[in-house]
């Protein structure tokens, strides 16, 4: 054995009153809105929800034409998650189609669109493409997984190696879906997804008539006018299409969050209360809890010699590479007969990854333990000449506490592009998520993995993003007049920041998580149906925001086809966002909340105790009428 360092909807709610509208800061209605302004704001976006998402879904009454979704890495159309059994004709308002596809991708009444975009990729690599690059077919599993998480059909008996057994379904299971493939193998320079292809896909999706776009991709944070996803998303929102995006997998370092445009809904990742447990039994009778989805197990209660990867390194390998079990760094002779490549493997977190462990579908008996237990393990190895260990078979357990916990990999704020907008906006399950998979590769995506699975567990903000996309689709199908900003506000302001023990959510190092990790909190779909009040934002508000950031007409033309006249006075803090982030507080700052009739002020004042604290302080603005609780996180930087 060897060691490697390793860097649903519940009860229904019914309500009878429309939500109030609140505007934070300046707004295009102005200080004295007309009667027509107020009637439009009240009637067009905030008709009451006549019934509950939970009951409609359970009774199969969620409209089947409620959501068109997007997959960035293709689709495996044969998956049962995309079966059209029980579906009627495709709605006439759908204008999309299936591409002529060498991969044999065929659409149906569930998967109603499939297109690929590769001209930007082709121009970059400068060589002819084979048929692998001329198909929407999913070659690595990412696209099928995310698409089915958002809108996959009901599939009873879904599991992986007999674990996580149950009925698989997406957030909007009766929705119709479409795939727009824009990412390809990184042949040159490590690039997979190019802005030219991304913008072309956005253009096609808008033209086809989608309702929701789920964008499980992103890169390093970049200025809005330099970001193809940001530009494409703006034009989608102009057409009342909600765009949900992943926050990135570069955590837990601060300032790593991507997809930070205020018109996008940015999602972080957190854990479920389900775990896949495999224990390490040491020769000194100590037991360490790990996570695994290994499809094979060790001989019952047989202990094997235990060594670390650096003690089995190849002659020409570096110790720091061998301890990470990098390819070609382990000497097979030194590993033979031990809990190493031939027998088993234990993955150990570094300090940065903390207590987060991931259940991976290993090809050999293996488990993943946290940093604290890793120290115990290494101490045992160094305490005896003949350390031994045994890895137990995998067990599925439910009711994990505490949960949810923020994933270490989930990218954190603050936004390096615009600190006055708190990102991510929300967090959702993104660790060990079971969903549809391709059957072209095994679950490890390794060439030597011959296993083929219709469903697979994956982790990342790519997995949490479609959870929220599905919820957005359900809310939109029940209330098609809600704007993208209204839907986002309803989800954000009703989120929770406590785990299943009733305590504040933690990060992977067992420290209290902050809004830079979870935004407004962990999503609660039922509460979002009846938020009480919402913060609305118009396209002109977003353009005013860009004006406040110094965008000239040349830059604004990327977002607005017609010339846009910037207001004489408008600040980035005037955007009516559901969270409040003050990027620099030197003394005091006052916000005016202007509603239809009433107005109030919130003042932030720097006091001596805050001045001595860390760079950022956190708080919340809470509205309540006794039955609704509408919470906006507050982040203030004062140093």
Which positions ≥6 away from 16 have C-beta within 8 Å? 48
Q: Is 265 found in the same domain as 255?
A: yes
Residue range 352-409, pLDDT digits in tens: 887 888 899 998 899 999 989 999 998 999 899 899 999 999 999 999 999 999 999 9
Taking alpha carbons only, the member of 78, 208, 218, 97 closest to residue 148 is 78
In a domain, 468, yes or no: yes
Beta pairing partners, 24:
593
Question: Residue 242 pairs with which residues in a beta bridge?
Answer: 212
Contacts with 292 (C-beta within 8 Å, 6 or more apart), sequence order: 276, 277, 278, 359, 360, 362, 366, 367, 368, 391, 394
Is 465 part of any domain? yes
CA angle 415, 421, 427 (to 5 degrees): 75
Helix (H, G, I), strand (E, B) or coil at 20: strand
DSSP codes joined into one string, 191-213: --B-HHHHHHHHHHHHHHT-SEE
Rounded CA-CA distance 515/257 in Å is 12
Residue 187 lies in a domain: yes
User: Is the pLDDT reported for residue 42 higher than 60?
Assistant: no
First vs last Cα of the chain: how many Å apart? 49
Q: Provide the CA 597 distance to its chain's centre, in angstroms.
A: 38
Asked if residue 110 belongs to a domain, the reply is yes
Q: Are 359 and 438 within one domain?
A: no
Picking from 493, 528, 563, the residue at the C-terminal end of a domain is 528
Domain at 433, CATH number = 3.40.50.200
Residues 247-261 have pLDDT tens digits of 999 999 999 999 999
CA 179 to CA 129: how far, in whole Å? 21
Backbone angles phi, psi at 150, to 5 degrees: -80, -45
Q: Confirm if 408 and 507 have CB atoms less than 8 A apart.
A: yes
Strands (E), 520-570: 533-535
Residue span of the structural domain in which 346 resides = 274-398
Whether residues 418 and 341 fall in one domain: no
Q: Prior bond to 414 cis, omega within 30?
A: yes
pLDDT surpasses 50 at 68: no
How many angstroms separate the most distant Cα atoms in the chain?
83
DSSP E strands, 161-254: 163-168, 177-181, 212-215, 242-246
The model's pTM: 0.85
In a domain, 290, yes or no: yes
Place of tokens 């916000």: 591
The last residue of a domain, from among 379, 398, 417: 398
What the block records as the tokens of 290 is: 């790990």
Q: pLDDT by residue (tens digit) across 114-167?
A: 999 999 988 888 777 776 778 899 988 999 999 999 999 999 999 999 999 999
pLDDT per position as a tens digit, 433-458: 999 999 999 998 888 889 999 999 99
pLDDT of 230 above 60 = yes
Note whether 208 and 240 are same-domain residues. yes
193 and 174 assigned to the same domain: yes
Q: State the Cα torsion 480-486-490-491 to the nearest 10°.
A: 80
Is residue 209 situated within a structural domain? yes
Could you tell me if 104 and 209 lie in one domain? yes
Residue 302 lies inside a defined structural domain of this protein? yes
Q: Does one domain contain both 74 and 174?
A: yes
Same domain, yes or no: 197 and 287? no
Q: Of 338, 372, 398, which residue sits at a domain end?
A: 398
Q: Which of 269, 189, 263 is nearest to 227 (CA)?
A: 263
Q: Which of 278, 433, 288, 432 is nearest to 364 (CA)?
A: 278
Beta carbons within 10 angstroms of residue 207's beta carbon: 11
Residue 265 and residue 164 in one domain: yes
Structure tokens at 17: 């009153």
Q: Are residues 462 and 334 in the same domain?
A: no
Shared domain check, 433 and 359: no
Count of structural domains, the chain:
2
Residue 92 to residue 207: CA distance in whole angstroms: 14
Higher pLDDT residue, 544 or 72? 544
Answer whether residue 449 is part of any domain.
yes
Taking residue 15's Cβ as centre, other Cβ atoms within 10 Å add up to 17
Angle in degrees, 0-180, between the axes of helices 539-548 and 228-238, rounded to the nearest 10: 140
- Reply yes or no on whether the pLDDT at 338 is more than 80: no
Give every strand in the sheet of 426-429, ordered side by side.
Answer: 212-215, 242-246, 265-270, 426-429
In this predicted structure, the answer to whether residue 11 has a pLDDT above a threshold of 70 is no
Residue 390 forms beta bridges with which residues?
281
What is the CB neighbour count within 10 angstroms for residue 34?
10
In a shared domain, residues 136 and 173 = yes
- Return the CATH number at 385: 3.50.30.30
């Amino acid at each position: 054995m060897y060691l490697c360092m390793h860097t649903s909807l519940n009860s229904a709610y019914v309500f009878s009153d429309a939500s109030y509208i609140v505007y934070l800061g300046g707004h295009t209605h102005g200080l004295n809105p007309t009667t027509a302004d107020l009637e439009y704001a009240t009637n067009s976006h905030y008709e009451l929800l006549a019934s509950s998402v939970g009951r409609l879904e359970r009774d199969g009454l969620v409209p089947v034409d409620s959501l068109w979704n997007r997959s960035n890495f293709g689709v495996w159309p044969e998956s049962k998650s995309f079966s059209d059994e029980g579906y009627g004709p495709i709605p006439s308002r759908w204008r999309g189609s299936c591409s002529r596809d060498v991969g044999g991708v065929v659409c149906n009444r569930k998967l109603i669109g499939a297109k690929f975009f590769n001209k930007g990729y082709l121009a970059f690599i400068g060589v002819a493409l084979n048929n692998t690059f001329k198909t929407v077919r999913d070659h690595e599993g990412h696209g099928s997984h995310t698409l089915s998480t958002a809108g996959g059909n009901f599939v009873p008996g879904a599991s992986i190696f007999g674990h996580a057994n149950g009925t698989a379904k997406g957030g909007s299971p009766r929705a119709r879906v479409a795939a727009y493939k824009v990412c390809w193998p990184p042949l040159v320079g490590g690039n997979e997804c190019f802005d030219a292809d991304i913008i072309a896909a956005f253009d096609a999706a808008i033209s086809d008539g989608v309702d929701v776009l789920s964008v499980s991709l992103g890169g390093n944070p970049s200025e809005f006018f330099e970001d193809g996803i940001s530009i494409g998303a703006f034009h989608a929102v102009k057409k009342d299409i909600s765009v949900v995006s992943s926050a990135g997998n570069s955590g837990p370092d601060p300032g790593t969050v991507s997809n930070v445009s205020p018109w996008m809904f940015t999602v972080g990742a957190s854990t479920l209360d389900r775990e896949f447990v495999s224990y390490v039994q040491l020769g000194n009778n100590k037991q360490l809890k790990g996570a695994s989805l290994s499809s094979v197990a060790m001989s019952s209660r047989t202990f094997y010699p235990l060594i670390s990867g650096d003690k089995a390194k190849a002659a020409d390998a570096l110790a720091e590479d061998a301890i990470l079990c990098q390819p070609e760094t382990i000497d097979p002779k030194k590993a033979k007969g031990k809990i190493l490549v031939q027998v088993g493997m234990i993955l150990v977190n570094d300090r940065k990854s903390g207590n987060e462990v991931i259940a991976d579908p290993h090809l050999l008996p293996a488990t993943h333990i946290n940093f604290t237990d890793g120290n115990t393990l290494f101490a045992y190895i160094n305490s005896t000449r003949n350390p031994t260990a045994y890895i137990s078979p995998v067990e599925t357990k439910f009711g994990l506490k505490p949960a949810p916990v923020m994933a270490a990999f989930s990218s954190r704020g603050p936004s390096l592009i615009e600190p006055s907008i708190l990102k991510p906006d929300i967090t959702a399950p993104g660790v060990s998520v079971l969903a549809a998979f391709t059957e072209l590769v095994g679950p490890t995506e390794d060439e030597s993995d011959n296993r083929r699975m219709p469903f697979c567990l994956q982790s990342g903000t790519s997995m949490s993003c479609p959870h929220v996309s599905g919820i957005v689709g359900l809310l939109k199908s029940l209330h098609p007049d809600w704007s993208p900003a209204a839907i986002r506000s309803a989800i954000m302001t009703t989120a929770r920041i406590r785990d299943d023990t009733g305590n504040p959510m933690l990060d992977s190092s067992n420290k209290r998580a902050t809004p830079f990790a979870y935004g407004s909190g962990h999503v609660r779909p039922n509460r979002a149906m009846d938020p009480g009040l919402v913060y609305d934002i118009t396209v002109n508000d977003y353009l005013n925001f860009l004006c406040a950031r110094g965008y000239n007409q040349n830059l604004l033309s990327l977002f607005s086809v017609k010339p846009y006249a910037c207001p004489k006075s408008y600040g980035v803090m005037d955007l009516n966002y559901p969270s409040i982030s003050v990027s620099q507080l030197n003394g005091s700052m006052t916000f005016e909340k202007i509603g239809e009739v009433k107005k109030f002020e919130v003042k932030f004042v720097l006091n001596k105790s805050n001045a001595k604290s860390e760079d950022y302080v956190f708080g919340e603005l809470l509205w309540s009428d006794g039955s609704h609780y509408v919470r906006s996180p507050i982040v203030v930087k004062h140093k």
